[in-house]
Amino acid sequence: MRADGFAALRFRHCRGAVGRRAGRRGCRAGCLRVMVAAAVSVLGSVLGTRWAIAQASVLQSPVRIALAPSGNLLVSDYLERAIVTLEQRTGEVVRAFPVAGRPLGIAWYRGRFYVGNEATARVEVYDRMGGFLYALEGTIAQPNDIAVDNRRGVVFVTATQEGTVEVFDAHGAYLYAIPAVTTDEARLVRPTGIALDREREQVIVSDFGDPAGGREARVQIYDYAGNYVRGISGEAGTSEFQFSRPQGVAVDGAGRVFVVDSLLGQVLVFDGATGAGLKILGSFGTEPGQLFLPLDVALDAGSGDVFVTNNRLGRVEVFRGGAGQ
């Protein structure tokens, strides 16, 4: 991160540019915003302020985000009904393709997009041009998030309504469910986000629990076979590291777990081994670098940049070097 401890890059959206064509007036206004923003950005750099603004993109309701091996950002847009690929440094749209339904989870594996479609209740596989190929076996009421282990060719999907993580091979055959054994501490209630720690072969899952009572929000950690390893409670620790509406999760090479709290508008960073709170990225609000219903987080291991889907504001927030110490 920068010396001031915070840097954010935001991709402004230009509504309706994928599904419904954006109106000329809207685009003109959007371009004007971008020009003003760019000028402010340059001025900000000169003056040493904490944020910059990138080029316009097409996001309306960004939900999940994943990094492709090329470094491009893959974003599912729930209202735009599309998968949008963004160039990481500039925010420019590389490509976008429509999804018939409501896309949630998104992952990339060997030139194919894996998309969780809430409307069809299945995980659909598309080729690199957005052509539908096939769906994974069976149905999942809300395939909320997807992670793929590229070395093993195994696909993990959070099934929010079923209260499980469903595991498939890359060709779509069903393998097993997580947790393997449903003890009280191992169980999932309403899992949302998912990430894989490939070094330790662990599955990290965020769980809403039961917001009405009975089970607090948690981050649950399992081994690849689904055996419970440990959990991070949303009600443990100091109040600043408590959470109640966890969404996307990510993990870095050091085993630190990044958790999005969609309600408080923060990304909380925990030591994955001890559960200790380490730092917080972002805060609730609508200004650059602030988050209003953030839903997912992705890390660039090389640059240490952290990318967060900022749903209500229709943009991706970028914390330059946010994954650093």
Count each helix (H run) and each strand (E run) in the chain, helices first.
1, 25
| Selected binder of another protein within 10, 12, 13, 102 (CB under 8 A) | 102
Q: Which 9-38 residues touch another protein, going by CB under 8 A?
A: 15-16, 20, 22-23, 26
248 and 228 in contact (C-beta within 8 Å)?
Answer: no
Q: Counting contacts by CB under 8 A, is residue 63 touching another protein?
A: yes
Nearer to another protein, 172 or 314 (CB): 314
Nearer to another protein, 88 or 266 (CB): 266
* Binding piece for another protein, criterion CB under 8 A, among 224-232, 269-277, 287-295, 300-308: 287-295
Distance CA(104)–CA(60), nearest Å, equals 14
Q: How far is the CB of 49 from another protein (least distance, A)?
A: 23
Nearer to another protein, 68 or 79 (CB): 79
Q: Counting contacts by CB under 8 A, is residue 120 touching another protein?
A: no
Q: Counting contacts by CB under 8 A, is residue 293 touching another protein?
A: yes
Distance set, CA 316 to CA 59, 101, 127, 288, 292 (Å)? 8, 22, 24, 10, 11
Total number of residues that touch another protein (CB under 8 A): 48
Q: Counting contacts by CB under 8 A, is residue 216 touching another protein?
A: yes
Q: How many CB atoms lie within 10 A of CB 149?
A: 17
Nearer to another protein, 72 or 161 (CB): 161
* Binding piece for another protein, criterion CB under 8 A, among 37-45, 85-93, 272-280, 293-301: 293-301
Q: Counting contacts by CB under 8 A, is residue 164 touching another protein?
A: no
| Selected binder of another protein within 154, 263, 273, 278 (CB under 8 A) | 263
Give the footprint of another protein on this chain (CB under 8 A).
15-16, 20, 22-23, 26, 61, 63-64, 78-79, 102, 104, 141-142, 144-145, 160-161, 190, 192, 208, 211-213, 216-217, 234-235, 239, 242-245, 247, 262-265, 284-286, 292-293, 295-296, 311-312
